Structure 1
Amino acid sequence: MRPTSPGRARGRAASRTRARLLTALALPAAVVAPLPAGVAPPARAGGGTSPPLDWKACAQGRDDTTGQDLDRAGARCAEITVPLDHSRPGGRTITLGLSQLAATDRAHRIGTMVLNNGGPGEPTLGMPLDVRKAMGDVAARYDLIGLDPRFVGRSTPLDCGWPIGLWLRSAGSTRARFDRQAAVQRDLAERCARRHAGVLPYAGTRDAARDIDLVRRALGERRISFLGYSYGAYLGAVYTQMFPGRTDRVVLDSAGDPAKWGPLALRGTEDEAERALRGWAAWTAGRNGDYSLGATRARVLATVDGIVAAAADRPLRVGAYEVDEQLIPYLLATGSGDDRPAARARLASTVRTLNEAAHGRPADPGPDLGGLLAFLLTGAGSTAASPVAAIACADRAAPRDPGAYWRAVQRSRARHPLFGPLKNNIWPCAFWPNRPRERPTRVGNPAPALVVSATGDTATTYEGGKAMHRALTGSRLLTLRGATAHQIYGVYGNACVDAKVNAYLATGELPAADPVCVQDGSSGERGRPVRTS
């Protein structure tokens, strides 16, 4: 995720990058007051018709570039009031923000498609603009709904006042550093509890799915279609489980194993992370004249090891920021999870800057790395970080013993010295003030869906995509082979994947067999279909 606040032309691309950064470890702010008690009447949680939505212009001020873009595209925005606790529909309420980009071909309208950008915690309000481009001609037949989930974006906020770089970190090289970080994680959990103790139990995915169903009723739809990326794919799967028969066409892009979502979801993804880093190192070695990081893959990786070792001795000074050994693995993991040339070049520039700092030379982060470090190390990322933890901790209980995490770190470190301590590290969930109110949803149903997965995905791995496919017995698995990619349809640039998803959205017919696309040559080139047995 590129953490800066770019201009209008870059705004939605930066939003997708934020989602990838968060999701890579799940899985850019002023501090707000605790949630107020709702005073508006709640949307109905039972049967019947919800009050009509009051659609208005989307822009909320001169700096609201997303709202301005939506207005120019002809979209409208609204709020819906929903119960904080769906088991108490007459109690406290919160609001959800949503946008609608209406179908223009009303004579051939298919229906409404609800969107989710993933994260979790990624705003979705502006997502219809990008999805409309990805869908091509078929977009004219859908009403596209960008729904900010509870506590995200324009919905009632949840902000714990966390610099995200305090908790998405590696365990470090020593037990003392791990212990200090465990104390930080405890403090973060206590901070969040002080601000939002009354709402944290209601941040989970099951409540978000219930919200979606209230939106469906408010829109007057018997069934909805759904497109979700990463965590959004999990949310969509949970919705199919909780509300059978209420979905039409479902696309779950970069889906993980639904049985593993939660605070420990990153465990077991070390191999994928290391393969991606090796791929980036080979690419960078071929451009040694540009980056001076090594002329072979081995030399580039040795440079990386040297940077980590230097940061273990003392934090590296990068502009106004200090970057320590616990943050560097996070930067490497998120930066190498996308094999498109622009993403690889950004990581190479980052590593070049870190290498300058490791050798004691002045290191100017520039706008990209500087914006990323501001997002991670200041409060700028708090509104994105807080819902991530709140959702994960509400969905599944985490082990409470810090020693258990340290033992897992040490076991993983033996095979994965760089990424093992990152993927197995302790989270605030270990100290969360409340246990989950409900058991995690066990996904297993015949809902038709198209699951999209890349073989090199480092966040929600290909094995996770296959697990989602097995859980949804009516689904098909669309594989992108030979690509390190997370968020594929309409984002990564593979024409084969985009065409197959659009064919399904246009006809409602899933492929007869699990299709495969491949990435020809270097990343970003057009893919071609492959025969499957």
Structure 2
Amino acid sequence: MHKWKTATTAAMAVLAGVLMAGAHPAAGIARAGTGGHGSPESGPERFERQKPAWHRCRNGSADAVGGQLDDAGARCAEITVPLDYNRPDGRTIKVALARLPATDPQRRRGALLYNPGGPGVPAMPFILKLGQAAPEVAARYDLIGMDPRFVGRSTPLNCGWPVSAVGSAGPDRRSFQRTATLAEDLASRCAVHRDMLPHASTRNTARDMDVVRAVLGEPRLSYLGSSYGTYLGAVYLQLFPGHADRVVLDSALDPHLYGPDLTRTAGPAVAAALERWAAWAAHRHGRYRLGSSPAEVLATVNRISRAADRHPLRVGGHRVDSRVLPMLLWNVTAGDDTESYAAFAADVRVLHDAARGMKVTPTPILDEVIPGLDAPDADGYVSAQTAIQCADRAVSRDPEVYYRDIRAHRADEPLFGPLTRNLTPCSFWPVGPAEPPTRIGNDVPVLMVGAAGDPAATYTGQIAMHRALTGSRLVTLRGAFRHTVYAGLFSRRNTCIDKVVDRYLLNGVLPARDTVCS
């Protein structure tokens, strides 16, 4: 995949969240040193004694991802887990996983499960990317990709949504009401799955991870999580601290805020990333003609926004209104390298010309992204993501709460506030969470890495996770405005960060104290 498009995919995975408790495990979870309830054959222990039937990953001739996994030597399996861990003798579901064996089996030290983020992102294909990006790690570990429950190949949950994004609340009460009506309609379409929705939580995915650990025969599991994957990793540490080996959290989310409203506080960080890009574009005014100073470039962006507030912009055969434009501008978070900045500048140039009433031809990126925002959620990606967030934390069901919040921040967050602070389908969700949010707080050793200017996993959120995980060490990439920092998986790589992570995963050496990379 093209580098900028890869970064855009990561940025949109975080954005999809806009579009739309106790530290002890729940009763019945079998753990080292504790007992489950019921007999050994009927309790939760029976899931841990499964024997996986490994097979080829490709499902038919059209399954390109499965074919790539097969070609790389991976094997796939399906593991049975309880729908509700409090009722292990009840309904079960399937969780799919892929295993890429360590390339140096004589030096193998265990299994490393990788979650690339989301939520709602199938993880199985990404072990190939990780293996290519970090060959030394792939030599020492079996790389495990587990599609989280209801995602990808793991008992998919698809609500049949006609669009993939709720989008921005727009400039006024009428535009806000349109998004509220859309969010309510999307939520109602998930009611058919109301028996599964309460159990889509990250807590249950973490429990599934531990079943996978046991089925693989691993006494402890190493883990790499990016973005949402950091929250999943933190929940796993909280529920199964004795089962964690070497854990790396890349670009951590605030564990106290994670849920449907996580992006509510992201507006200022995205605005800072936009300012950084504006300074870059101002130095290239001769090429992009967006302004010769950062202030002039930002004024150009604001003019585009005001024009979209008045009437939809015509971009080729597409229409870009106030609901859609902030989602396009969010793509400034795709990366802080020259290639990403240049692609975003080309998009803004087209949008600026369209705002002036000129006939324009969309860039290839705009031609792909704009229709995608209004396209049906065909594979159920966004509805599954929303189900996970709704199951993790309850939110206000009063639309007025969101409208008042948007109004209160129109002056200081004019571009992104109506997007990040807008309501989601969770405000109209058919069912509430089955459990309270997980309270993160433990001293398990963890390595955390992240960029100080991360527009998606804000640095204040990273610090909140660091403080909750008192055994963690934080390595901060200063001067960077990118989301995820390890191994160039979703943004350009940094040698300093890579050395710290590889040293920990390969040799078990945590930094003696928090430190920085430049």
Contact residue 475 and residue 497 of structure 2 kept, 8 A: yes
Mapping of 1:232-251 within 5 angstroms?
232-251=229-248
Contact residue 160 and residue 377 of structure 2 kept, 8 A: no
Work out whether 1:286 is the aligned partner of 2:283: yes
Letter in 2 for 1:82: V
Per-residue deviation, residues 304-336 of structure 1 (Å, max 9, x unmatched): 111111111111122332211122112212333
Letter in 2 for 1:500: V
Given candidates 252, 263, 266, the residue that maps to 2:263 is 266
Post-superposition shift, 1:122? 1.0
SS in 2 for 1:266: helix
Work out whether 1:451 is the aligned partner of 2:448: yes
Letter in 2 for 1:506: L
Instruction: Measure the CA separation in 1 of the matches of 2:352 and 2:336.
Output: 21
Given candidates 341, 344, 359, the residue that maps to 2:341 is 344
- 2:494 matched residue in structure 1: 494
Post-superposition shift, 1:92? 1.9
- 1:26 matched residue in structure 2: 17
- 2:70 matched residue in structure 1: 71
- 2:481 matched residue in structure 1: 484
Letter in 1 for 2:513: A
Q: Where do 5+ consecutive residues of structure 1 fail to align? A: 1-8, 28-41, 519-533
**What TM-score, normalized by structure 2, do the two folds share?**
0.91
Instruction: Measure the CA separation in 2 of the matches of 1:418 and 1:66.
Output: 37
Greater Cα offset, 340-349 or 45-54: 45-54
Post-superposition shift, 1:353? 1.9
Instruction: Measure the CA separation in 2 of the matches of 1:13 and 1:300.
Output: 22
1:339–1:78: structure 2 CA closer, same or farther, 3 Å change rule? same
User: Identity over aligned residues, as a percent?
Assistant: 49
1:155–1:295: structure 2 CA closer, same or farther, 3 Å change rule? same
Instruction: Measure the CA separation in 2 of the matches of 1:351 and 1:437.
Output: 44
Contact residue 16 and residue 382 of structure 2 kept, 8 A: no
Per-residue deviation, residues 396-421 of structure 1 (Å, max 9, x unmatched): 01101111111111111121111222
Mapping of 1:456-475 within 5 angstroms?
456-475=453-472
Contact residue 267 and residue 420 of structure 2 kept, 8 A: yes
Instruction: Measure the CA separation in 1 of the matches of 2:284 and 2:442.
Output: 48
Contact residue 83 and residue 92 of structure 1 kept, 8 A: yes
Per-residue deviation, residues 376-434 of structure 1 (Å, max 9, x unmatched): 11115652211221111111011011111111111111211112222211111111111
Greater Cα offset, 363-372 or 12-21: 12-21
Instruction: Measure the CA separation in 1 of the matches of 2:371 and 2:94.
Output: 29
- 2:208 matched residue in structure 1: 211
1:301–1:15: structure 2 CA closer, same or farther, 3 Å change rule? closer
Letter in 1 for 2:261: L
Q: Where do 5+ consecutive residues of structure 2 fail to align? A: 19-40
Post-superposition shift, 1:192? 1.6
**What TM-score, normalized by structure 1, do the two folds share?**
0.88
Post-superposition shift, 1:301? 1.4
Letter in 2 for 1:132: G
Mapping of 1:41-56 within 5 angstroms?
45-46=44-45, 49-56=48-55
Contact residue 57 and residue 76 of structure 1 kept, 8 A: yes
Contact residue 478 and residue 517 of structure 1 kept, 8 A: yes
- 2:396 matched residue in structure 1: 399
- 1:130 matched residue in structure 2: 129
SS in 2 for 1:23: helix
Given candidates 209, 220, 225, the residue that maps to 2:222 is 225
Instruction: Measure the CA separation in 1 of the matches of 2:5 and 2:419.
Output: 24
**Residues matched between the structures, number:** 493
1:377–1:477: structure 2 CA closer, same or farther, 3 Å change rule? same
Work out whether 1:150 is the aligned partner of 2:149: yes
Mapping of 1:41-190 within 5 angstroms?
45-46=44-45, 49-162=48-161, 165-167=164-166, 169-190=167-188
